[in-house]
């Protein structure tokens, strides 16, 4: 097992292109959670990102909030400006693990770990975030919505790092995120959903209901139509089930069942829509 400690982003890119088998380490909360087993994988080379100042900052431009790849959940939880403009980021961050995990876990690590249960990803999807990938060959921007190809498969080459997550600044009338798990903290999501509404545009993204965290286009269209009084008014959660079934493909596993996930997703959305007067 080998560790590489690049001093600059340029060094890191060079190390990654020299050896395609290198694993980047950010907060380590995914990589080291199974350390006793992983330690056995002696051939692994790790590349430590934690010393790279270029990846650390969180900044605002006129049109975007830019999260550097080392931005943690706690950075977001403690930022009043983020809470005011992108409340879903704070709501989700506060439900990741507990404060010790929030202080270390990064949004970029959450994206690249590519768990279907990742809580940071649905809120970023519902805010139309873009992933910026960097390598020795330059940068590439990929909408998060197009980033995942299949379970744990994504459009990131081994020589690329996520350098930034870019979130467009818009006026949202509504934003909410709901996570259902066995307890509020230190829990892996059974079903979760993030919603934003900007004018007539709805974004709905769900986690733990498909091989990847995913946008729900049928639900988005359905909710937009109901809200615009172009569709049938909602009378019960089951009205949402056809759209849910066309968008997601939950499974039975140790944490929950497919049926529970569908039903609960329908109810969360139904009650949230009711509360919002839709």
Partner 1 sequence: MSTNSVSIETTINGEKTSIDVTATERLLDVLRYRLGLTGSKEGCGEGECGACTVYLDGQPVNSCLIPAYQVRGRVVETIESIAPEQLGAFVASGATQCGACSPGVVMTAQWIVKHPHLLQSHGLRELMAGNLCRCTGYDGIIDALTETLAANGSAEEPVSGQDR
Ligand X SMILES: Cc1cc2nc3c(=O)[nH]c(=O)nc-3n(C[C@H](O)[C@H](O)[C@H](O)COP(=O)(O)OP(=O)(O)OC[C@H]3O[C@@H](n4cnc5c(N)ncnc54)[C@H](O)[C@@H]3O)c2cc1C
Q: Which residues bind ligand X (CB under 6 A)?
A: 23-31, 33, 49, 69, 96-97, 101, 104-106, 108-110, 112-113, 118-120, 161-162, 186
By a kind-dependent CB cut-off of 5 to 8 A, residue 112 interacts, out of partner 1, ligand X, none, with ligand X
Contact pattern from residue 155 through residue 174 relative to partner 1, giving x for each residue in contact according to CB under 8 A and a dash for the rest: --------------------
Residue 120 contact among ligand X, partner 1, none, beta carbon within 5 to 8 Å by kind: ligand X
Taking CB under 8 A as the criterion, the residue among 20, 21, 34, 235 binding partner 1 is: 34
Q: Give least dist CB 26 to partner 1, A.
A: 10
Output the CA angle 145-149-155, nearest 5 degrees: 80
CB under 8 A: which stretch of 52-60, 120-128, 180-188, 228-236 binds partner 1?
Answer: 180-188
Residue in the block written with tokens 């690249």: 112
Residue selected from 185, 201, 246, 249 as contacting partner 1 according to rule CB under 8 A: 185
Name the minimum Å distance from CB 79 to ligand X. Answer: 17
Q: Which does 194 bind (CB under 5 to 8 A by kind): ligand X, partner 1, none?
A: none
84 makes contact with partner 1 (CB under 8 A): no
Based on the shown chain and the rule CB under 8 A, indicate whether residue 74 belongs to the binding site for partner 1: yes
Return d(Cα 64, Cα 270) in angstroms, integer.
Answer: 31
Which 3-state string (H, E, C) describes the chain?
Answer: CEEECCCCHHHHHHHHHHCCCEEEECCCCCCCCCHHHHCCCCCCEEEECCCCHHHCCEEECCCEEEEECCCEHHHHHCCHHHHHHCHHHHHHHCCCCCHHHHCCCEHHHHHHHCCCCCCHHHHHHHCCCEEEEEECCEEEEEEHHHCEEECCEECCCCCCEEEEEEEECCCCCEEEEEEECCCCCCCCCCEEEEEEEECCEEEEEEECCCCCCEECHHHHHHHHHHHCCCCCCCCCHHHHHHHHHHHCCCCCCCCCCHHHHHHHHHHHHHHHHHHCCC
Judged by beta carbon, residue 46 or residue 260, the one nearer partner 1 is 46
Min separation Cβ 30 and partner 1, Å: 9
Query: Quick one: which of 7, 8, 10, 33 contacts partner 1 (CB under 8 A)?
Result: 33
186: contact with partner 1 by CB under 8 A: yes
Interface residues with partner 1 (CB under 8 A) are: 1-3, 5, 25, 27-29, 32-36, 39, 42, 46, 48, 50-51, 74, 94, 97-101, 103-104, 183-186
């Amino acid at each position: 097992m080998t560790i590489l400690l690049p001093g600059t982003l340029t060094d890191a890119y060079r190390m990654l292109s020299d050896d395609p088998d290198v694993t980047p380490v950010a907060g380590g909360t995914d990589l080291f959670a199974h350390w006793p087993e992983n330690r056995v994988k002696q051939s692994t080379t790790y590349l430590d990102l934690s010393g790279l100042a270029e990846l650390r900052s969180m900044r605002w431009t006129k049109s975007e909030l830019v999260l550097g790849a080392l931005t943690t959940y706690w950075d977001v939880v403690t930022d009043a400006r983020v809470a005011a403009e992108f409340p879903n980021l704070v709501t989700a961050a506060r439900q990741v693990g507990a404060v010790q995990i929030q202080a270390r876990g990064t949004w970029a690590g959450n994206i690249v770990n590519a768990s279907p249960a990742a809580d940071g990803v649905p809120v970023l999807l519902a805010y139309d975030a873009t992933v910026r990938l960097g390598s020795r060959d330059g940068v590439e921007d990929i909408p998060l919505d197009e980033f995942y190809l299949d379970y744990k498969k994504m459009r990131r080459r081994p020589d690329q790092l996520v350098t930034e997550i870019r979130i467009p600044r818009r006026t949202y009338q509504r934003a909410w995120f709901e996570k259902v798990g066995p307890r509020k903290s230190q829990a892996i999501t059974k079903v979760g959903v993030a919603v934003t509404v900007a004018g007539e545009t709805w974004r709905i993204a769900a986690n733990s209901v498909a091989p990847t965290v995913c946008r729900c286009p049928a639900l988005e269209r359905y909710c937009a139509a109901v809200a615009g009084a172009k569709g049938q008014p909602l009378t019960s959660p089951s009205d949402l089930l056809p759209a849910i079934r066309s968008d997601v493909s939950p499974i039975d596993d140790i944490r929950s069942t497919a049926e529970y996930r569908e039903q609960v997703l329908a109810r969360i959305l139904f009650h949230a829509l009711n509360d919002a007067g839709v």
